Structure 1
Amino acid sequence: MPESSLRPIYWEDDVVAIIDQRLLPHKRVVLRCTEPQQVIRAIKTMAIRGAPAVGIAGAAALALGALTLKAADPQTFRRKFVRLCRQVKEARPTGNNLSWAVEKVYSVVVENPEADVFQLRRLIREKVEALMAEDVAANRAIGAWGRKIVPSGARILTYCNAGALATADYGTALGVVRAAFAEDSSIHVYTCETRPFLQGSRLTAYELMVEGIPSTLITDNAAGSLMHQKRIDVVVVGADRIAANGDTANKIGTYTMAVLAKANDIPFYVAAPRSTIDPALADGSSIPIEERDPREVTHWNGRAVAPKGMAALNPAFDVTPNRLITGIITEVGVLRRPFKRTIKKALEA
């Protein structure tokens, strides 16, 4: 892979290569995983993050598992593979793309009951590579649809990181930005730092600078002021899980941005592939919210930024109600109210 590439995960023969996003933007280190547990660890520790990228990583973990599982007969292979699928699904609970990708890969085993172990390994690897290609195609389609909602010369606010680093490549929310910038170089992007993990200042800012897109980094708590001053025209964010009614889980703080956008009469869009939609959940109240280590709040790079012994709460995500969302940009179009109907139609497309 060239040093300039933003693809966060790719194959090197039978090795899964993952850019360690915990070290960006100052250091580029590639983790080379030869066993599924190494990929699972990378997901859990946020070496790779972003719902679509996590889904691809989970699928890749299964492909590695298929290669390394000790099983001479198909029955043993299938039994062990089911156990591995369960472990991968549990790596991170909030995003829908991970469980979706696991189910897609597992379907290969179900749909080929007569296949031997060698054939299953080959078919699983082919499925994972297809999922990677499909994610990139979906992201580019999201960008093509999304650029239509970006006004000429727009000042765009985005939150967290929903770019190439959060997907197989290109990005969802930043895919919209990339597509808009390709047609209109006068746009400007404001990216929030995104406490406590700083995905905005470390990753989104990095991607925008690599792409040469005019941009400004702001603190999370500056967003409302900029909106009030009419310095923001549109908000575009990614998503980790979308319920059947359009309620959307994304990085903690997204709900705040949506409330501020509503109060200032600014369009608020979510950009995500259909694999992020979980039609089994009627609304956002059932979306599981991951609680992460409080030290991510009380410490930074191992250094305390709060008094010793101070308790901290660290939910990784929040849920934005559909009433605050102007539209959901998918690979098949921009979904608008009533979301239950348009989401159902999009999933059937």
Structure 2
Amino acid sequence: MIPTLEWTAEGVRFLDQTRLPLEETYVLATTYNQIADVITTMVVRGAPAIGVSAAMGVAIGVQKSPATSIAALDADFEVIAKTLASTRPTAVNLFWGIERMRRRYNALKAEGKNLEEIRQGLIAEACRMYDEDIAACRTMGAHGASLMPQSGSVLTHCNAGALATCGYGSALGVIRAAVEQGHEIHVYADETRPFLQGARLTAWELMHDGIPTTVLCDNMAASLMRQGKIQAVIVGADRIAANGDVANKIGTYGVAVLAKEHGIPFYVAAPWSTIDLATAHGDDIPIEQRAAVEVTHHAGKQLTPHGVGIENPAFDVTPSKYITAIVTERGVLRAPFEESLADFELATPLRA
């Protein structure tokens, strides 16, 4: 298990993903503001990991609150939740994590728990979410493994592995499960500009597991597809709308269009907490805009002319018509996604 994040007696310990692959260091966050900063600066990233990180942020915020009454703690809770919710707008898991903690907080109050019992109850809930995420990823992998080629190459974009979750991974979890079942898979990892999550993170963790990996510049995928070198594409997601449109790291849409053109199946793997049935379609998903410096500079060195315009959306939206199937811990969903998503939601209600 790659230790993406961990609740400890001192605070929440995060593997610093901004320093990978050359430096394996950790950041200890001891306040909810520090956890908000860890999320914003992408020390931790990936929608499932962000959701659990936010839950732990709520727990540590309530734990450290000086409130001596329920009314005062109520006020502090709202400040904590608002701060964490303002970090990254696209990943719906962020809001899912906060709202699940809110529900647990209200339930503990309704049960008549005192302040210390509420604090301990919220810590337990955040740790439960951590364990559930790992279990969901393993179940997701089991559901999706059969979709992977028995022998061949799979392309992935960004990082949807153990580093993007609490462990095992979503898209890379499916690949891991297939390899565990005996599939002979070679992974092509898009470098994923401008933050290079594929080159830095996907390559690092797959090599950590001994899975053969080749890094591609983002503009190489079409050529490899034309040569028949890619048998499937699998990516993660930051938000999936009710019609099956998927928001994922910028560049995913282009990969999906290329896969469609070349007759290659395009799969999305994500936990159910990434499903947003309240958002009808992808056009309504908020897209995070990140700082220009991520494009203008690399490793502290400026790459672009002074004053040039920069566009740096962190995500794009892939319409559902390009998606072969969506893999979740509840099973594999296929088109029409409006129906399959609704059916799976009714069959397995949201966790309390």
Tell me whether the two structures share a fold, i.e. TM-score over 0.5. Answer: yes
Match of 2:213 in 1: 215
Sequence identity percentage = 46
* Equivalent position of 2:184 in the other structure: 186
Instruction: Give the conservation status (yes or no) of the 8 Å contact 2:59–2:123.
Output: yes
Distance 2:246 2:253 in 1: 9
1:302 alignment partner in structure 2: 300
1:51 aligns with 2:43: no
CA–CA distance in structure 2, aligned partners of residues 83 and 298 of structure 1: 34
- Which amino acid is 2:337 matched to? F
Partners of 2:159 and 2:131 in 1: CA distance: 20
1:94 counterpart (85, 90, 109): 90
Give CA deviations for 1:121-146 in whole Å, capped at 9, x if unaligned: 01100000000000000000110011
Q: For 1:225, give the aligned amino acid.
A: S
CA distance in 1, matches of 2:114, 2:18: 39
Instruction: Look up the equivalent residue of 1:99 and give its one-letter code.
Output: F
Alignment partners' CA distance in 2, 1:252 and 1:293: 14
Q: 1:235 aligns with which of 233, 236, 251?
A: 233
Query: Helix, strand or coil: the match of 1:154?
Result: strand
Which residue number corresponds to residue 223 of structure 2?
225
Residue in 2 that maps onto 1:29 = 25
- The structural deviation recorded for 1:299 is 0.5
Contact kept, 8 Å, 2:237 with 2:269, in 1: the verdict is yes
**Aligned pairs, number:** 345
Deviation at 1:15, TM superposition (A): 1.2
CA contact (8 A) 2:108 2:121 kept: no
- Provide the rounded CA distance (Å) in 1 between the counterparts of 2:195 and 2:9: 32
| Structure 1: distance between partners of 2:174 and 2:3 | 17
The residue type equivalent to 1:58 in the other structure is A
Equivalent in the alignment of 1:279:
277
Letter in 2 for 1:305: L
1:88-126 Cα offsets, whole Å, 9 max, x none, are 111100001000010111111111222221111011000
Matched, 1:255 2:214: no
1:302-321 alignment runs, 5 A limit: 302-321=300-319
Partner Cα distance (2:119, 2:217) in 1: 47
Does residue 1:42 correspond to 2:34, yes or no? no
Q: Which runs of 5+ in 1 are unaligned?
A: none
Q: Distance in 1 between matches of 2:74 and 2:115?
A: 9
**CA root-mean-square deviation:** 0.9
Corresponding position: 1:106 with 2:102: yes
Contact 2:149 2:183 survives alignment (8 Å): no
Is the CA contact (8 Å cut-off) linking 1:74 and 1:115 kept in structure 2?
no
Shift of 1:347: 1.8
- 1:287-308 alpha-carbon deviations (Å, 9 max, x no partner): 0000000110111111111112
> Deviations along 1:7-38, whole A, 9 cap, x unmatched?
21002224100111000010111111111111
Distance across 2 between alignment mates of 1:134 and 1:284: 27
Aligned equivalent of 1:244:
242
In structure 1, the residue corresponding to 2:151 is in which secondary structure?
Answer: coil
2:168 is matched with 170
Change (3 A) 1:214 1:185: farther
Q: Show the 5 A alignment for 1:132-147.
A: 132-147=130-145
- Could you tell me how far apart the structure 1 residues matched to 2:10 and 2:51 are? 19
The answer to whether structure 1 residue 62 and structure 2 residue 58 are counterparts is: yes
Report the TM-score, using the length of structure 2 for normalisation.
Answer: 0.97
1:18 aligns with 2:2: no
Q: Following the alignment from structure 1 to structure 2, what is the Cα–Cα distance between the partners of residues 154 and 330?
A: 23
SS in 2 for 1:282: coil
TM-score when normalising by structure 1: 0.97
Kindly report structure 1 stretches of 4+ aligned residues shifted beyond 4 Å.
none
Rounded Cα–Cα distance in structure 1 between residues aligned with 2:10 and 2:131: 17
Matched letter for residue 4 of structure 2: P
Partner of 1:205: 203
